[in-house]
């Protein structure tokens, strides 16, 4: 887990080594000191609408359900895919409405992909319960809550960086 702190457009801190839970506790502590906190988290905050309807939940209901569903990742049963020999299943839709808005030729992966290059599903499923925790501590999780501080938003860093050649450390730094 990486944590970056930016104030007034200046990178003040870049660190790693904390668990998800430790990062969330740190964010709660920061918000207790400064309510004007905006947090960007790099994972999908929900799943396609058809899947939520099938489960009978809204996004916050999904976050609560995910707390009990590590088996989604272990079993890798449809709609999830990407672990072991699982293949991408035929689904009515793999993407959320927001995922279909490619920016600069950069497109997100399906939240159902939990293994393989670019998979976002594992981080999302494991991150969902922490959104519930932050919300219970007074954070607004946008767009599921009205915008107010402290605020948590979903970010997609690749849109900010453009294409990156991950296999070359020199090219990653340029």
Q: Per residue, what are the HEC states of 24-93?
A: HHHHHHHHHHCCCCEEEECCCCCCCHHHHHHHCCCHHHHHHHHCCCCHHHHHCCCCCECCCCCCCCCCCC
**pLDDT band at 37; cut points 50, 70, 90:** very high
Beta-carbon count within 10 A of 5 CB = 11
Expressed as residue numbers, the domain containing 83 is 2-173
CA dihedral 148, 31, 3, 129 (to 10 degrees): -70
Rounded to 5 degrees, φ, ψ at 35 are -70, -10
Reported as a pLDDT band with limits 50, 70 and 90, residue 172 is low
**Helices 121-136 and 59-66 meet at what angle, rounded to 10?**
110
The predicted-structure confidence for 122-150, as pLDDT tens digits, reads as follows 999 999 999 999 999 999 999 999 999 99
How many domains does the chain fold into? 1
Specify the pLDDT at position 168.
73
d(Cα 119, Cα 109) in Å, to the nearest integer?
6
- What single-letter DSSP state applies at residue 99? G
Q: What is the pLDDT of residues 75-101, one digit of tens each?
A: 999 999 998 888 999 998 898 888 887
Which residues partner with 38 through β-bridges? 151
93 alpha-carbon distance from chain centroid: 19
Tokens of 67: 């707390």
- Does the pLDDT at position 18 exceed 90? yes
> Residue 49 pLDDT more than 80?
yes
pTM of the model: 0.87
Question: Cα 124–128–130 angle (5° rounding)?
Answer: 125
């Amino acid at each position: 887990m990486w944590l970056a702190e930016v104030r007034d457009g200046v990178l003040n801190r870049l660190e790693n080594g904390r668990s998800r839970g430790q990062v969330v506790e740190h964010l709660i502590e920061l918000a207790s000191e400064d309510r004007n906190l905006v947090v960007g988290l790099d994972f999908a905050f929900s799943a396609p609408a058809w899947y939520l309807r099938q489960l009978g939940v809204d996004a916050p209901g999904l976050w609560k359900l995910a707390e009990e569903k590590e088996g989604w990742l272990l079993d890798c049963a449809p709609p999830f895919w990407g672990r072991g020999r699982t293949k991408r299943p035929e689904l009515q839709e793999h993407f959320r409405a927001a995922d279909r808005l490619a920016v600069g030729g950069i497109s997100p992966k399906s939240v159902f992909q939990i293994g393989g290059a670019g998979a976002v599903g594992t981080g999302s499923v494991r991150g969902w319960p922490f959104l519930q925790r932050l919300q219970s501590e007074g954070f607004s999780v946008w767009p599921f809550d009205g915008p107010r501080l402290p605020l948590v938003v979903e970010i997609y860093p690749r849109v900010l960086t453009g294409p990156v050649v991950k296999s070359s450390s020199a090219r990653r730094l340029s």
